[in-house]
């Protein structure tokens, strides 16, 4: 089985049963304590070794200071649609956002992969705030455990759609996916990784042979328009991105989701839908339209319901599979594109 972690390093969260067992042995403890540590870390909410009541008292005291790798809850806001936004404080004081999105049969967590984001997309609050650093494996896994524990309910779905560009932190994002799957017990098919595209990284992700859904933030139907919205598109033209996505489909046999933010009067015209359909003809894919969620730093507008419906109809007429994502948590700034670093709780 692929291990997802350098062995016996700290922090403990994010490590496999084998690595935790080695660590426990290195501390002079019997092997079975490794299994106990694993259970308590991933399923009993242990935040420090002193929480693990099955461990001998002397050991719990001696190892109280060991870095388990859990973040601290800095702030929590519940929106009227029951979406919960968490501001988590990391060990170095940085703040990240995570969103828990409950529905009748699901509990979805929207996880961050970086503190801030270097991609600087013009419509996204995270991008406007700049980039600080990549998240560690434990800092990604912690977000899911935090939501699970807070809701007192198993997390069923994970979307890498919080702060950051996961493919700029591929190694940790992939390791976190493996950990969340093997150790926390969430099916890879219930996970989606969203990327705006980083040259070569989609191909590399295919080689990981994961079963997660790949979502690609397209947002425009031609290179000129995409470049206006997404600065990184300059080094990664639309045609090259689409070719790499085609390769991904061939290598994995999995269909790709294309995310397309709808900005009134800009990229929401019937001609854009026709152009988009042209690119996606015969492509094993699915389009997810995201009506723009307002942010303070930009003055784009969300299109009317009528133009959203018209855009959908244009795509459907060309036999493109399409859905509309009505983001939740809007009024608490917990929706797509509204997450930002280091914002004080309002
Ligand atoms: N960096 C990754 C994941 C981040 S966000 C990516 O770009 O895919 C998840 C989705 O929300 C992306 O498709 C992103 O473009 C979109 N988004 C960003 N700002 C938004 C806004 N203001 N309104 C609606 N969607 C937005």
Please report, for the domain that includes residue 15, its CATH number. Answer: 1.10.150.530
**DSSP 8-state symbol, 8:** T
Is 178 within a domain?
A: yes
Peptide bond into 176 cis (omega under 30): no
Residues 89 and 45 in one domain: no
Is 337 within a domain?
A: no
Residues 155 and 284 in one domain: yes
Asked whether residue 1 carries a pLDDT value surpassing 80, the answer given is no
Residues 120 and 158 in one domain: yes
Q: How is residue 35 written in tokens?
A: 């299994």
CATH assignment of the domain containing 282: 3.20.20.70
Q: Which residue in 110, 124, 179, 336 is the catalytic one? A: 336
How far does CA 334 lie from the centroid of its chain? Answer: 14
Is 345 within a domain?
A: no
Whether 336 lines ligand 1, by a CB cut-off of 6 Å, is yes
Q: Which residue in 18, 97, 124, 275 is the catalytic one? A: 97
Residues 126 and 239 in one domain: yes
Residues 264 and 276 in one domain: yes
Asked whether residue 340 carries a pLDDT value surpassing 70, the answer given is yes
Is 346 within a domain?
A: no
Residues 273 and 298 in one domain: yes
What's the structural domain count of the chain? Answer: 2
Residues 182 and 245 in one domain: yes
pLDDT at 300: 96
Whether 289 lines ligand 1, by a CB cut-off of 6 Å, is no
Nearest CA to ligand 1 atom 3: 161
Pairing of strands 285-291, 84-89: unpaired
Asked whether residue 57 carries a pLDDT value surpassing 50, the answer given is yes
pLDDT at 344: 47
- 261, 123 in Cβ contact below 8 A? yes
- 178, 4 in Cβ contact below 8 A? yes
CA-to-CA distance for 113 and 136, rounded, in angstroms?
8
Based on the residue annotation, tell me whether 336 is a catalytic residue of this protein.
yes
Nearest CA to ligand 1 atom 18: 337
pLDDT at 8: 46
Q: How is residue 160 written in tokens?
A: 């890498």
- Band (pLDDT 50/70/90 cuts) for residue 212 is very high
pLDDT at 335: 78
Residues 280 and 249 in one domain: yes
- Hey, which of 97, 98, 217 would you mutate to test ligand 1's pocket, going by the most ligand atoms within 8 Å of its Cβ? 217
Is 322 within a domain?
A: yes
Of 14, 35, 69, the position where a domain reaches its end is: 69
Is 276 within a domain?
A: yes
Q: Could you tell me the distance, in angstroms and rounded to a whole number, from the CA of residue 217 to the centre of ligand 1?
A: 7
- Which tens digits make up the pLDDT trace of 149-187? 999 999 999 999 999 999 999 999 999 999 999 999 999
Residues 44 and 78 in one domain: no
**Mean per-residue pLDDT over the chain, rounded:** 93
> What angle do helix axes 270-280 and 305-317 make, rounded to 10 degrees?
30
Nearest CA to ligand 1 atom 15: 217
Is 310 within a domain?
A: yes
Based on the residue annotation, tell me whether 110 is a catalytic residue of this protein.
no
- Band (pLDDT 50/70/90 cuts) for residue 225 is very high
pTM for this predicted structure: 0.94
Q: Where are the alpha helices (DSSP H) in the chain?
A: 17-26, 32-43, 57-62, 125-128, 137-151, 170-182, 201-207, 223-229, 238-252, 270-280, 305-317
- Band (pLDDT 50/70/90 cuts) for residue 329 is confident
Closest Cα partner for 105 from 160, 153, 148, 149? 153
Q: Where are the alpha helices (DSSP H) in 44-169?
A: 57-62, 125-128, 137-151
Residues 131 and 274 in one domain: yes
Whether 292 lines ligand 1, by a CB cut-off of 6 Å, is yes
Q: Give the position, in ligand 1's atom list, of the atom nearest the Cα of 195.
A: 8
pLDDT mean over 61-67: 91
Residues 185 and 223 in one domain: yes
Q: Give the position, in ligand 1's atom list, of the atom nearest the Cα of 117.
A: 1
Of 69, 85, 115, the position where a domain reaches its end is: 69
Whether 214 lines ligand 1, by a CB cut-off of 6 Å, is no
Is 278 within a domain?
A: yes
Whether 260 lines ligand 1, by a CB cut-off of 6 Å, is no
Whether 196 lines ligand 1, by a CB cut-off of 6 Å, is yes
Residues 28 and 158 in one domain: no
| Unique residue bearing structure tokens 């969300």 | 302
Please work out, in degrees rounded to the nearest 5, the angle formed at the alpha carbon of residue 170 by the alpha carbons of 165 and 172: 105
Of 46, 69, 92, the position where a domain reaches its end is: 69
Asked whether residue 2 carries a pLDDT value surpassing 50, the answer given is no
Where in the sequence is the domain holding 143, given as residue range(s)?
72-332
- Band (pLDDT 50/70/90 cuts) for residue 334 is confident
């Amino acid at each position: 089985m692929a291990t997802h972690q350098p062995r016996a390093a700290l922090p403990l969260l994010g490590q496999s049963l084998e690595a935790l067992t080695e660590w426990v042995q290195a501390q002079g403890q019997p092997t079975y304590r490794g299994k106990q540590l694993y259970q308590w870390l991933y399923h009993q909410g242990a935040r420090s070794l002193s929480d693990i009541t099955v461990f001998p008292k002397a050991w719990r005291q001696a190892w109280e200071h060991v870095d388990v790798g859990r973040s601290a809850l800095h702030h929590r806001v519940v929106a009227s649609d029951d979406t919960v936004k968490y501001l988590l404080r990391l060990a170095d004081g940085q703040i990240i956002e995570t969103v828990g999105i409950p529905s009748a049969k699901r509990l979805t967590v929207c996880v961050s992969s970086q503190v801030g984001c270097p991609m600087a997309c013009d419509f996204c609050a995270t991008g406007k705030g700049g980039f600080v650093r990549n998240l560690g494996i434990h800092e990604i896994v912690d977000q899911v455990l935090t939501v699970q524990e807070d809701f007192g309910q198993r997390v069923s779905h994970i979307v890498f759609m919080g702060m950051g560009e996961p493919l700029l932190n591929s190694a940790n994002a992939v390791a976190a996916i493996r950990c969340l799957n093997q150790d926390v017990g969430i099916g890879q098919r219930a996970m989606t990784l969203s990327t705006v595209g980083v040259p070569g990284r989609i191909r590399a992700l295919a080689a990981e042979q994961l079963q997660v859904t790949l979502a690609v933030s397209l947002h425009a139907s031609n290179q000129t328009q995409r470049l206006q919205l997404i600065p990184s598109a300059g080094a990664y033209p639309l045609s090259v991105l689409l070719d790499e996505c085609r390769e991904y489909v061939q290598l994995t046999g999995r269909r790709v989701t294309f995310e397309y933010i709808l900005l009134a009067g800009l990229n929401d015209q019937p001609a854009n839908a026709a152009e988009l359909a042209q690119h996606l003809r015969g492509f094993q894919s699915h389009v997810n339209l995201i009506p723009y969620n307002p942010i303070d730093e930009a003055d784009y507008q969300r299109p009317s319901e009528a133009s959203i419906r018209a855009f959908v109809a244009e795509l459907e007429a060309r036999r493109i599979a399409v859905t509309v994502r009505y983001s939740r948590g809007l009024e608490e700034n917990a929706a797509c594109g509204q997450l930002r670093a280091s914002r004080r709780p309002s």
